Structure 1
């Protein structure tokens, strides 16, 4: 069973992203156009679940299925779209997740949505603190119930995402 635990920001998260990005570049080769660190671990000072979220941006999402065995060799599970059309999702670490890789094709709106949310939290530390506080409360309340934890964050994320997309389009 997965346990939800929010911890203080750790500088090592940047290094963990960079290490994993090198592996992903090696696997996807010429298909890879960009790679981004997203999620709470990408926001300096933000408390987070210690799971590194990564978005590789690729030329052709359908070609990514050809790399499933190589991703498995690096410890990733192959989960396909998992409810988000046009995505390929690869978690790593089983019940003690360490990484989530969300692969999208260039131009997919989900890329902008994730980058906007990250950049907005970086630009507005007060909003980032509100988010951290909410996550801590939810994690203590729903430590053994990941679905309830996610549901508790949903409204905050949606509202902040709208503001973030507006902010992102102006910058």
Structure 2
């Protein structure tokens, strides 16, 4: 699917990282059966904050994969009608207690002050959403790739990361390989 939606107004053209780079200690935790409940609590919080808006909300990332060790951060993706119309979603999310962390082309990220929930906002039909769901669904069903992904994350923990984005970038090759297998499996 190609991304052809034209925003109603120009989007931002650069990355704005509110608060700058953040050094952090990354720890993997064994899968926690409470993660789906935390997601559901935040799903309700987001739905209430965006009452009247037509949004799609999904639990993504490692905490959405039963049995997979993860950083204890619940990742959520929200599809909105127009990412450039921040007044339709950002004010409500900020009023609900989330803080703006990232504003970049086609993507916004808000998070809890405790940094334990990240809400990624994209425009409806953005291919990034499909990519998140492809990886999540494949890891849920393929034990070998789930183990590979976890071992990759564990090996990266031996390094120091000045920013979570650098850690995420270091996993890119493995994620791309897993998604290629997921696409191939989907076509069978």
How does the TM-score come out when normalised to structure 2? 0.78
Partner of 1:3 in structure 2? 25
Aligned length: 166
Note if contact 1:31-1:60 (Cα within 8 Å) is conserved in structure 2: no
Specify the structure having the higher radius of gyration (Cα).
Answer: 2
Q: 2:100 aligns with which of 78, 84, 87?
A: 78
1:141 equivalenced with 2:163 (yes/no): no
The verdict on how the C-alpha distance between 1:141 and 1:163 changes in structure 2, with shifts beyond 3 A counting, is: same
- Indicate the SS of the match to 1:78: strand
Q: Please list every run of 5 or more consecutive structure 1 residues that lacks an aligned counterpart in the other structure.
A: none
CA distance in 1, matches of 2:164, 2:43: 26
Q: Note if contact 1:75-1:92 (Cα within 8 Å) is conserved in structure 2.
A: yes
CA RMSD, aligned part only? 2.1
More helix by share: 1
Alignment of 1:80-159 (within 5 A): 80-82=102-104, 85-93=105-113, 96-142=114-160, 146-159=164-177
Could you say if the C-alpha distance between residues 58 and 146 of structure 1 is closer, same or farther in structure 2, counting changes exceeding 3 Å?
closer
Moved over 6 A (4+): none
What TM-score comes out, normalization by structure 1 length? 0.85
